[in-house]
Amino acid sequence: MAFSEEFELLLRARYPLIYIPTAEEERVEAAIAQSAKKQGNRAVYIWDFVDGYQGNPNDTGVGKRNPLQALEFLDKLPASSPAVIILRDFHRFLEDISVARKLRNLGRLLKAQPKNIVIISPQLTIPSDLSEVLTVLEFPLPNFGEIKVEIERLLGATGQSLNVKILDELARSCQGLSLERIRRVLAKAIATRGELQPDDVELVLEEKRQTIRQTQILDFYPTSAQISDIGGLDNLKDWLLRRGGAFSERARQYGLPHPRGLLLVGIQGTGKSLTAKAIAHHWHLPLLRLDVGRLFAGLVGESESRTRQMIQLAEALAPCVLWIDEIDKAFAGADGKGDAGTTSRVFGTFISWLAEKRSPVFVVATANNIQALPPEMLRKGRFDEIFFVGLPSQEERRAIFAVHLSRLRPHNLSSYDLDRLAYETPDFSGAEIEQTLIEAMHIGFSQNRDFTTDDILESASQIVPLARTAQEQIQFLQNWAAAGKARLASRQGSLSDRIQRQFQ
């Protein structure tokens, strides 16, 4: 149900006290005024702490710097006169005993009168003694259609036009911002170059970064990683490329739901985190990184509150990619033992959101230890797919060497024997191959020359790969994937053949 429909229903049902948590004060007041006009042309009174009541000349300044007097103002209004009273930032006064008592008295009184008190606040703060009398109504951020109308209005004002595809992409990138922020960032773009351009999407992403910086829960993670930077993992890359346009308005019209996310399970250093970065860059979406440790706080109930805040923030910035690295370590204690059940409650809130979310937040979670993950995390419906990322095959190792060397020595790539390097590094992960190249560069640099294939092989001979130091854990992961518990991210060779080669 749309906000206006739900708000008008509350007016007709005579809900006396309505609480709307939103920072979009101007926009929500315009929506309330429009709904009040539809409902018998109700009078609208607006109060704030500095100026008191505004709008009506007879009442201007009433209740200035006096929240209790602002509530007593209702006693002076005729009982039969329909009205909506808007109280700005009134959450700051709800802990006052006289204000709380007056609100509860009004809650009983206004049930028989066509009047409603609406508290508008940028945050949701309700004392326990008022939880039964206040009704919380969410005010959503502007949707795709509203944003598109606003952009078209600005284009009309500047005498400019954009083709439909660019207009849709710009409107989609603005989703998650308030209308005021959208106007600011588009005005900045117009002031910079005199018109809106396709690459103004970057200005919009910078505005989203500003929103993220105001919190201490999520990090806005800039990335330039591309799908081509991932060596191997062809099945996973094909899966991602097929969904490249799944966040577009055309996909919605086709009937496609928003993609939900991926769980990438596998051995450390095999490119799971790099994949999360490449997804965001390829889909032109902001990448938000969640450090789950920041969700947990010392005060009772604060961890659950932070989790809900994280969810609201991610949905506000949608469409986006939410990256949760090593989720197995974050929720290893989800059985609730030892922390009074805090981890269990945070985990419950999180997986319920994963199952029920309809917002375009694509969650990419990575895990190294599948045994530490609660079974609920693996149930169908949490993620679109679970991929297993194992140790690279010989062909994949060749591709990984090619990716790194084309970045490090693009002018001299042909001088390196990629086939030999791939053959001589069995059991090496992508991270270990990168470290091998760094060590080879140290060898060449110390001797005042460029590093060679032999330097790389010498470095590789000195590295003991994780496949040998954590053989039992990796054997378990490989067997788990071989049993069909997850989709294979790599295409080359059968998994059973690779297991035999790796653990001979």
Residues 262, 365 within the same domain = yes
Are 120 and 35 in a shared domain?
yes
Q: Which two tokens stand for residue 25?
A: 């004060």
At residue 498, the pLDDT reads 46
Stretch 383-411: mean pLDDT, rounded? Answer: 91
User: What is the residue range of 47's domain?
Assistant: 3-136
Residues in CB range of 199: below 8 A, 6 or more apart: none
In angstroms, rounded to a whole number, what is the distance separating the alpha carbons of residues 19 and 30?
16
- Strand, coil or helix: what is 428? coil
CA distance to 230, 412, 436, per residue, from 418 (Å): 16, 12, 14
Q: What angle do CA 244, 249, 253 make, to 5 degrees?
A: 110
> Which CATH number covers residue 85?
3.40.50.300
What is the predicted pLDDT for the residue at 444?
94
Please tell me the distance from the alpha carbon of residue 316 to that of residue 177, in angstroms, as a whole number.
Answer: 7
What one-character-per-residue DSSP string does 362-415 give? EEEEEES-GGGS-GGGGSTTSSSEEEEE----HHHHHHHHHHHHHHH-GGGGGG
Residue 166, pLDDT score: 82
Residues 61-80 have a mean pLDDT of 92
The verdict on 380 and 456 lying in the same domain is no
180 and 41 within one domain? no
What letter does residue 51 receive in the DSSP assignment?
T
Q: What is the pLDDT of residues 341-363, one digit of tens each?
A: 677 888 888 888 888 888 889 99
Instruction: Assess whether pLDDT exceeds 50 at residue 494.
Output: no
3-state secondary structure at position 320: strand
Decide: 179 and 24 in contact? Cβ < 8 Å.
yes
Task: Tell me: do 182 and 156 sit in the same domain.
Answer: yes
The one-character DSSP state at 121 is E
pTM of the model: 0.67
Average pLDDT, the chain: 86
Residues 232 and 371 in one domain: yes
110 and 237, same domain (yes or no): no
484 is a domain residue = no
Q: Is residue 190 part of a domain?
A: yes
Q: Are residues 260 and 379 in the same domain?
A: yes
Residue 485 lies in a domain: no
**Within its chain, how far is the Cα of 212 from the centroid?**
10
Query: What is the model's pLDDT at position 38?
Result: 92
Tell me the pLDDT tens digit for each residue of 129-139: 998 999 999 89
Domain check: are 242 and 379 in the same one? Answer: yes
Q: Are residues 357 and 317 in the same domain?
A: yes
Indicate whether 400 belongs to any domain.
Answer: yes
Q: Which amino acid is at 360?
A: P
Q: Which CATH number goes with the domain that contains 448? A: 1.10.8
Both 153 and 301 in a single domain? Answer: no
**At which of 136, 157, 174 does a domain end?**
136
Segment 77-94 shows an average pLDDT of 93
Structural domain count, the chain: 4
Q: Is 80 exceeded by the pLDDT of residue 263?
A: yes
286 and 155 share one domain: no
CA angle 101, 4, 174 (to 5 degrees): 110
* Residue 78 belongs to some domain of the structure: yes
For the ranges 84-98, 273-287, 345-359, 479-493, the lowest mean pLDDT is seen at 479-493
pLDDT attached to residue 337: 56
How close are the terminal C-alpha atoms of the chain, in Å? Answer: 61
